[in-house]
Amino acid sequence: MNAPFQTPSAEAKSPLKVLIAAPRGFCAGVDRAIEIVERALERYGAPVYVRHEIVHNRYVVDGLKAKGAVFVEELDQVPEGVPVVFSAHGVPKAVPAEAQRRGLEYLDATCPLVSKVHRQAERQIEAGRHIVFVGHRGHPEVIGTFGQVPEGGMTLVETVADVDALDFPADTPLAFLTQTTLSVDDTAQVIAALKARYPAIVGPKAEDICYATSNRQAAVKQIAPESELVLVIGAPNSSNSLRLVEVAERCGAVARLIQRASDIEPEWLAGVSTMGLTAGASAPETLVREVIDRLGEWRAVEEHTLAGADERMIFKLPRQLTE
């Protein structure tokens, strides 16, 4: 039987260089979504209902629950006379339509960059094109985007192999769009395959993968090659966090997704002199500091924050909360 792990004394702690990615953590869309729920609670009082997790982070969701937010999966769980907030991932058109039928006041916390994809989808359908959507099956953002167009107007692909399996006639008017939280490198390969197979396919003027997703992946590419271990703070259902794990692994590092500092096993640090640390777009900076403090219980931590993209994006709140 293995002996229990002993926290080393201060004298015995070996140094651990921690490369902290920048940017990391909350993006403008997540900031906005959380503020919408908090302001709704201030304006209307508790409870305020939220359809689906406002963002994919248990710490954030639990914090909002403590303030009076109630999270539900469907609108029939929302009683009359209380406001309901739609999550940052976006919802099908049928959801606000149902809210109106029920007489529910709703606040739409959909990230504006996701809303932009929704508008692009509508325009492509109006132009008579079938949409090939690059995304992950079952993700709320994918479900919401598919719900912007008539049934049958969009086909999902996840991989190059899915593109190879498409059977549209060569003269079919096609367009492609993508989920905002995908792997930049993988998506480039899928889009290249689409363009090779269907040269006339129409794409967006700028890529749909959001600035925060791209920036966080680029930051991991900075820290991972120098790290034996990379920890990514994020939820298992967070697409952008899972992509950060994949990016780190492709750079040759061992990468682990954690939700809180308590998930870290001290054995992971065996033989590690340099590790990387980042957080997905739904993870608050509080959790980054929590991890640093936890690591400090076992090792003499030397923090190094790498320079990265300077993010200054701010999104407006819904009019109901600003008037």
Residues 73, 126, 141, 285: which is the catalytic one? 141
Q: Is residue 80 annotated as a catalytic residue, yes or no?
A: no
9 SS3 class: coil
> Which tokens in the block code for residue 159?
């991989």
DSSP string, 30-89: HHHHHHHHHHHHHHH-S-EEEES-SSS-HHHHHHHHHHTEEEESSGGGSPTTS-EEE-TT
Cβ pair 273, 301 in contact under 8 A: no
Distance, CA of 99 to CA of 83 (rounded, Å): 10
Residue 199 CA: distances (Å) to CA of 173, 196, 277? 11, 6, 41
The C-alpha atoms of residue 229 and residue 167 are separated, in whole angstroms, by 42
Residue 290 burial (10 A CB sphere; 0-12, 13-18, 19+): middle
Positions marked active-site: 141
